[in-house]
Structure formats: structure tokens, C-alpha cells
Chains A and B, each alone.
Chain A
Amino acid sequence: MIRIAATADLHFGPDLAGTIRPHLGGLTERADVLLIAGDVTRVGDPEEAVGLAKELAGLDVPIIAVLGNHDYHSDRQAEIAEVLEESGIRVLERETTTLEVDGSTLGVAGAKGFGGGVIGASGSDFGEPEMKAFIHHTRAIAEGLRRALSELDTEHRVALLHYAPVETTLRGERLEIYPFLGSYLLGEAIDGAGADLILHGHAHRGMERGVTLGGIPVRNVARPVIQRAYNVYCLSSDGSRLTD
């Protein structure tokens, strides 16, 4: 069994120094890996990432993250990723990483994701350049994520996103902002490649538990949703991959 601790939307800033680590006590006994589904910083300042890295330093499990929209706000996302990587936190953007736990292998494919909308209410690749760029960005990420997942040859596969890939974990949010919270293109790509679990954040007023049309469990681990520092998801050793 692989035990995955997951959280998102830490929005770390100097005012949160010393407030993260006390809530991570026991994590190394409960979980084999910590996944962070984006928005590690408040305003996308690399100094905020330095502060968060200090909070997570010495945690005796591998840490894997994707960035979120807050981390892009100051156009310094590459520096944030560099800070985190230098502190030992693997940052994925349409990339994968694998690890071995008690003889089982876990592959994580990560990407920020982006918006666009849910099935039946999605933006189209049509019209003004700005609108086409919006949908192109989501589509490129979805295709990159599909490719990354397909490259994984591990017993378990997890997709790590910031934006939501399905409607079910958005319920509770205002319908009008669904297009800014996620895109069905992400869910379609993951269903096509197969995965055991999808983790995302970003939808602070959504629901924790959802599922793709292909039956893959989706968990929204935004901290305002789970109302804990992290939750733990256990994947059994016999696996549950839907497609190969």
C-alpha cells in the first residue's frame, strides 16, 4: 500500500512563518510521500517559496508539487520552482517522477492545468486571439499531461494538478466561475492515459470528492476544503488502473 499525503493552496507568505510545520507532525508516520497541488505562495514571490521550503525542511518523506495561479502572479514561477527544487521538493510541469515504496512503484505526473469550463459549458478555440490563447494554453497542458502519464510504467499512477479536471469537485462554487476553476480537457486527457487518483486544489469552496467520467477518483485537497493541513489517500497494492 502507498500512502499519499496531499494538500494545496498554502498561499505561504511571511505572516505564515512557523504556522505550517506544527500541523505536519505525524506526517512521516502516516504517509510515504507528500503531494502539494499548487499555490505554494501568496503572490508568487520567490522569497515566499524560500519561507515555505524552511517550513518543510527535514520532513522525512519525498515532496512533489505543482505550481498554481498564485505562484505565477509575479511572473517569477521559474525562480519559485528553482527554490523548491534546490530544497529537495520536486516541481512538475507536464513532467513525471517516480518513487519506490515497500516494493511498489508510484509515478506522479504533474501540471498546473488551467481553466476553460466543464462539459457542456466550455470555452471554444474560436474568435479573438485572447480567447484562442486561453483555450490553447489549457489544451497544451492537457496534452502534455496525457503524454506524461502515458510515459509512466509504474504500479500506481497519480495525476497532480492545481486546476480541477471535473465538475464534481467544483460543486459549492458559483457556476459562473467554473471556467476559471478548471477544464474538462484535463479530465479527458487523464481518462485517456489512465491513473489511479487525481489530486487538485484551487476550488476553495468546492467538494473534496469527485470522479472522472472514466471512473478515476478525484480529490480536491485545497486547504479550505479539507480544513486540515493534509489528508491521506491510500492506494492498495493490487492497483486499480483503468486503462493501460
Chain B
Amino acid sequence: MSSSDPVPDAYLAEHVRDALAQDPRLSELHVDITMTSGKVFLTGTVGSEERRAYLTTVVQGVMPDREVVNHTIVESPAGEPDVEKLP
């Protein structure tokens, strides 16, 4: 590989991961990034709709030439708690 060759997608995905961790509005460490066919796919859970929307903005900023497809879902802790009796 020479310096003029395109950067492999796997390296670029790590650059995106770093950007998500470093951005103070996200500090997001738990989103999966898959790069293929000129697109960036995001999967996993995030804490709010605001964070989900901002995720796309940040990734698009890092990868302006790729289409960002955001499949993340917003965490919803609405269920009744489990109650476990320990011995």
C-alpha cells in the first residue's frame, strides 16, 4: 500500500469511532460502525433522540463523501423492574 492508495474502510471506521467518543455531546462508546458500498451504517442503542440525530451529524462530518445510514435505536427503560430473591 502506498500513501496514494485509498485508506481501508476498517481504518476509517475506527476514525469514526474515535470521533463519537471524543465529541462532548455524544461521548458515545457503544455504537457499531459498518462501512460498505460507500455507506456508513450505524447500529446499537443511544440514550436520547437528540443523541441519535446528532450521531448522524458527527459521522457525516468525519465522512462527508459517504451516505450515513443510522439504524441506532433509543434506549427505553420503561418496563417493570425484575425482582430477584437471592439465597
The chain A residues found within 8 Å of chain B, CB to CB, are 3, 5, 11, 13, 15-16, 19, 23, 30, 42-43, 45, 70, 73, 196-197, 204-205, 217, 219, 223-224, 226-236, 240
Contact = CB atoms under 8 A, between A and B. Distances in A.
A42 B82 CA distance: 25
B79 interface: yes
A232 B50 contact: no
B18 to A, nearest CB: 14
B27 A42 contact: yes
Given A11-B27, A223-B77, A230-B81, A16 B48 contact: yes
Q: How large is the interface on B (under 10, 10 to 19, 20 to 34, 35 or more residues)?
A: 20 to 34
Q: Is the interface of B mostly helix, strand, loop or mixed?
A: loop
A231 B86 contact: no
Interface in B69-87: 75-87
Chain A interface, >50% SS class: mixed
Contacts, number: 73
A233 B50 contact: no
A30 B47 contact: no
Report the 10 A-B pairs with minimum CB-CB distance, sorted nearest first. Answer: A15-B50, A229-B77, A232-B83, A43-B27, A15-B48, A234-B85, A231-B82, A228-B79, A43-B24, A204-B30
A197 B24 CA distance: 34
B6 to A, nearest CB: 26
B25, B45, B47 pick with most chain A CB within 10 angstroms: B47
B77 A227 contact: yes
